[in-house]
């Protein structure tokens, strides 16, 4: 299994499919604008929020730097509370471990709260292949699970669908024969809630992701706006929390600042509607909670990033703010990226986790270098510079067509001297006279845009002529 699932369609196909999808174009514009405006308003109405954000960045960067020690501490604490910790290096290791627990407990039905890391390891596919019945309980994830699709937005997985499509999907997949399904959004939500109630009550195992892992108490924190994680963590007999190792946070003091950031930047709320805190399985004297709690700590390429030039990317809290402001994301949506991690963060993270062979085209083709993501990122991750750096890697690994590489080399060489620059002006004029314009990189421009001609007298030529006698 690959480290990160990859859409087999090549980029031009993914791109053109997205650009021609009129529903997608409408829903994407709506979702990204709504979330982005909410983010801006939330910070505006929270004057001390900026100070909290700055503290959050500092604490998160420290936690990443010291993650070895903190992860050991978290493991000790979890174990002391009666939990079990598994360190998993690969997607297969996660799947094998969860399946083994399922076997021990004769699990048939699994319910899940929203988790990007389980999308990353394709957990549902792994569990279903072994005959388990898996149900997503976040509304957006529920929708894309029924549609057999991947998330199109880190935070809003079904952002590419409108309510008419969702209504039809419900009718086609989960509605009973003859059951009416309304197109009204509230009614659709009510419908999904009624269906999911049955799944919650009949499940044997709950699976969560984790937004934060607090080292000092060995606590997993899951934030949602639907409250579904509360039921996933309390109703089934067995609970498994699967967490990327970069989710580590040193203590509750740090968490206080960091936990605000995904809510503020993701949905424009001071706090998410529900905060689910898991510190252990049901205690002997307690009535509620799972009999067993397992915490899977996933590496899957993260340790390779640690200590290198992209370490800051491990501070990402998956708020999706960079997606909402990205001009390219707004055009092609998450499926355009061919990775479960989309938008600017996906453009950096996907090749780092999944390799340049699979995702090397993302930095080159899905970024206009507008810096909007860096401005929006609450964790100050230098995404544009990381994208440039990945482009440099692509160049040094000779991933561009040879002709393109040659053009850059010749162009760069020529324009590093005044003589070369002047010669290139002469050459361009000659090409223009011979009507040779659709060549090399310029051809890409000309299909859709008029190209200006090199001036008959450039500014520098004109200046030189007028000031030839040295009087500037």
Q: Read off the DSSP letter of residue 258.
A: H
Residue 334 Cβ vs other proteins, minimum distance, rounded to whole Å? 15
The distance of closest approach from Cβ of residue 472 to other proteins in the complex, given in angstroms and rounded to an integer, is: 5
Burial 189-209 (b: 16+ CB within 10 A, else e): eebbeebbeebbeebbbbbbb
Which positions lie near other proteins, rule CB under 8 A? 12, 15-16, 19, 327-328, 331-332, 363-372, 374-375, 388, 390-395, 404, 408-409, 411-413, 415-418, 420-421, 425, 428, 441-445, 447-455, 457-460, 462-464, 467, 472
Instruction: Please report where in the chains the tokens 């957006």 appear, as a residue.
Output: 140
Helix (H) or strand (E) holding 302: helix 302-305
CB of 449: closest distance to other proteins in angstroms?
A: 3
Q: How far is the CB of 410 from other proteins (least distance, A)?
A: 9
The C-alpha atoms of residue 94 and residue 246 are separated, in whole angstroms, by 16
* Complex with other proteins: residue 252 or 445, whichever CB lies closer: 445
CB of 352 to other proteins, least distance (A): 16
CA 295 to chain centre: 22
Report in angstroms how near the CB of residue 39 gets to other proteins at its nearest. Answer: 13
- Tokens encoding 340: 């479960």
Nearer to other proteins, 157 or 363 (CB): 363
Instruction: Please say which residue, 253 or 397, places its beta carbon nearer to other proteins.
Output: 397
Using DSSP's 3-state secondary structure scheme, residue 248 falls into strand
For residues 348 and 387, the answer to whether their CB atoms sit within 8 Å is yes
Question: Residue 87 belongs to what H/E stretch?
Answer: strand 84-88
Which C-beta is closer to other proteins: that of 305 or that of 387? 387
φ, ψ for residue 377 (rounded to 5)? -65, 120
Pair of tokens at residue 384 = 């544009």
Complex with other proteins: residue 54 or 125, whichever CB lies closer: 54
Contact 355, 166 (CB under 8 A): no
Partners of 214 in the β-ladder: 219, 249
Q: Which is nearer to other proteins, 123 or 159 (CB)?
A: 159
Of 269 and 364, the one with the shorter C-beta distance to other proteins is 364
Cβ 315 to other proteins, closest distance in Å? 20
| SS3 category, 309 | coil
Rounded Cα distance, 465 and 206, in Å: 79
């Amino acid at each position: 299994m690959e480290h990160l699932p990859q859409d087999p369609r090549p980029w031009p196909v993914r791109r053109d499919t997205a650009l021609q999808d009129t529903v997608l174009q409408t829903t994407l514009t709506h979702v990204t604008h709504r979330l982005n405006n909410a983010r801006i308003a939330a910070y505006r109405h929270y004057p001390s929020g900026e100070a909290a954000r700055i503290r959050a960045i500092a604490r998160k960067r420290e936690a990443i730097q010291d993650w070895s020690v903190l992860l050991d501490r978290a493991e000790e604490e979890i174990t002391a509370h009666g939990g079990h910790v598994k360190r998993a290096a690969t997607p297969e290791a996660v799947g094998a471990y969860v399946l083994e627990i399922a076997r021990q407990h004769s699990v048939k039905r699994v319910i899940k709260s929203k988790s990007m890391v389980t999308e990353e390891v394709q957990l549902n596919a792994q569990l279903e292949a072994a005959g388990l019945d898996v149900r997503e309980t976040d509304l957006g994830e529920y929708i894309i699970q029924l549609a057999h699709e991947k998330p199109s937005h880190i935070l809003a997985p079904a952002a590419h669908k409108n309510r008419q499509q969702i209504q039809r999907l419900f009718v086609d997949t989960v509605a009973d024969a003859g059951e009416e399904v309304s197109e009204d959004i509230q009614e659709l939500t009510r419908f999904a809630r009624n269906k999911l109630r049955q799944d919650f009550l009949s499940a044997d195992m709950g699976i969560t992701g984790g937004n934060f892992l607090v080292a000092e108490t060995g606590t997993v924190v899951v934030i949602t706006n639907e409250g579904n994680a509360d039921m996933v963590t309390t109703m089934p007999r067995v609970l498994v929390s699967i967490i990327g190792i970069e989710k580590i946070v040193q203590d509750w003091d740090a968490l206080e600042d960091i936990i605000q950031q995904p809510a503020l930047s993701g949905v424009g709320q001071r706090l998410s509607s529900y905060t689910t805190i898991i510190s252990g399985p049901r205690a002997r004297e307690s009535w509620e909670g799972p009999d067993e709690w397992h915490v899977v700590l996933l590496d899957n390429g993260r340790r390779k990033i640690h200590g290198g030039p992209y370490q800051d990317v491990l501070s990402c809290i998956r708020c999706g703010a960079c997606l909402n402001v990205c001009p390219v994301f707004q055009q092609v949506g998450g499926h355009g990226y061919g990775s479960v991690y989309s938008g600017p963060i996906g453009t950096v993270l996907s090749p780092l986790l999944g390799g340049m062979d699979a995702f090397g085209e993302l930095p080159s083709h899905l970024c206009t270098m507008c810096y909007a993501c860096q401005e929006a990122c609450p964790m100050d991750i230098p995404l544009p510079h990381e994208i440039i750096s990945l482009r440099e890697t692509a160049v040094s690994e000779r991933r561009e067509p040879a002709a393109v590489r040659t053009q850059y080399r010749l162009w760069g060489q020529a324009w590093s001297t005044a003589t070369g620059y002047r010669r290139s002006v002469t050459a361009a004029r000659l090409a223009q006279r011979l009507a040779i314009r659709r060549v090399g990189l310029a051809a890409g421009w000309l299909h859709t845009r008029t190209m200006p001609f090199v001036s008959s007298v450039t500014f520098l030529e004109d200046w030189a002529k007028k000031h030839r006698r040295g009087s500037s």
